[in-house]
Amino acid sequence: MKIFVFLSIAALCSAKSLLQNEFLHFLAEQDIIPAPSPDDLIFTCPLKCICQIQVVQCSDAGLKSVPAKIPKDTVMLDLQNNKITEIKENDLKNLHLLYALFLINNRITKIHPKAFRSIKHLKLLYLSWNLLPQLPTNLPTSILELRIDDNKIKKIPKNAFKGMTFLHVLEMSGNPLDATGIEPDAFVGVLRLIYIRISQAKLTSVPKNLPPNLYELYLDHNKISSLELQDFRQYKDLYRLDLSYNQIKHIENGSLAYLPNLRQIHLENNKVNKVPASIKQLKYLQVVYLHNNNISKIEVDDFCPKESRIKKLHYSGISLFGNPVKHWEIQPASFQCVSGAHGVQLGNFRK
Ligand SMILES: *[C@@H]1O[C@H](CO)[C@@H](O)[C@H](O)[C@H]1NC(C)=O
Ligand SMILES: *[C@@H]1O[C@H](CO)[C@@H](O)[C@H](O)[C@H]1NC(C)=O
């Protein structure tokens, strides 16, 4: 029924507006949408935008500010690729139904602390590729996904995501953030965050103040030089960990053993000089990327422990090319717990 109603609205939106008003009244009588107020009867669509059933698209329109007169029933507002410099106090006023707001690739330096005050159902907020010097304050607590890559954010202060119980995905790559910039109580109250990406930042160590129930953590393209014993202690649910393109040389024995559920680890393009000791203890680990490191020797039990009770699942992929190890010195038994003919990529050796 609902689908039918939306399709009907879609069809009617392109019909005459008188017909549309009648139809909106009809929907209101059926309790499908709130009754239109006299204001709403004048159908408005901001200049340079395209409006279609509660979706307002104003991308690539050279806009320098958020357009006025956005229809009040808008659920999706697309303002990508413009020249907007600021979100002012009343720019988003009355958009009570807004569900998704896309502001990627503008020149935003400022978001008024009250800009979101009437928005209660926002789920997706994309602010990547702007010039924000800090996280916006008073974000709607309903947000599921926040993308704020490639801004100028140096700090995640205490209570930065206050009340954002539902936040699932946070993308914060390409900001000048280091691990000390993430304050101890930065994620207080965030209970369901399962995915964080802080790639291409200025991290020199693994941040310790992220929420404990993460599934996926991406810290690639940073300047992390070692993994310490306590680094992953609180991230026991991690499923996928990406530490590629760092400067990791030293991995403290046992540091990865805190990750019993790990399925996939990316350690490629670092300076690792031996296979991390705890790898073989991770019984669900399936994919290990270790290519382009400085590993010169593979021990027979580096991947496959002698006591078969430890490792339960077989590996499906191990990459080791681009390491100085001499392949003729590797014993075939080293990979006895790898499945498939192409499970191990040794590739060409430097010497
Ligand atoms: C790493 O720690 C485990 C026990 O936690 C121990 O059995 C093993 O010998 C250690 N390996 C190295 C290289 O220190
Ligand atoms: C690689 O390891 C060797 C010792 O095995 C060391 O002499 C060399 O400096 C290391 N290279 C890098 C880039 O860390």
Does residue 10 register a pLDDT over 70?
Answer: no
Top mean pLDDT of 208-222, 298-312, 337-351 is at: 208-222
Residue 218 tokens, joined: 């991406």
Local structure of 287: helix, strand or coil: strand
Does residue 31 register a pLDDT over 70?
Answer: no
Residue 312 — pLDDT band, cuts 50, 70, 90? Answer: low
Find the 272 Cα to ligand 2 centroid distance in Å: 9
Does residue 4 register a pLDDT over 90?
Answer: no
Phi first, then psi, for residue 196 (nearest 5°) are -130, 135
Predicted pLDDT of residue 11? 37
Nearest residue CA, atom 9 of ligand 2? 294
Predicted pLDDT of residue 106? 98
Identify the H or E element spanning 207: none
- What confidence tens digit (pLDDT) does each residue in 194-214 have? 999 999 999 999 999 999 999
Average of per-residue pLDDT across 305-324: 82
- What confidence tens digit (pLDDT) does each residue in 99-111 have? 999 999 999 999 9
Phi first, then psi, for residue 160 (nearest 5°) are -60, -30
Task: Give the number of the atom of ligand 2 that is nearest the alpha carbon of residue 271.
Answer: 14
Residue 98 tokens, joined: 């807004």
Average of per-residue pLDDT across 294-315: 83
Does residue 273 register a pLDDT over 90?
Answer: yes
Nearest residue CA, atom 10 of ligand 2? 294
What does the H/E/C string look like for 118-153? CCCCCCEEECCCCCCCCCCCCCCCCCCEEECCCCCC
What span, in angstroms and rounded, lies between the C-alpha atoms of 22 and 40?
12
Predicted pLDDT of residue 223? 97
Predicted pLDDT of residue 37? 53
Q: What percent of the chain has pLDDT over 90?
A: 70
Among 226, 294, 296, say which to mutate for ligand 2: greatest number of ligand atoms within 8 Å of CB.
Answer: 294
Residue 82 — pLDDT band, cuts 50, 70, 90? Answer: very high
Does residue 127 register a pLDDT over 50?
Answer: yes
What span, in angstroms and rounded, lies between the C-alpha atoms of 202 and 182?
12
Pairing of strands 169-171, 76-78: unpaired
Helix and strand tally (H, E) in the chain? 2, 18
Any idea which ligand is nearest the CA of 310? 1
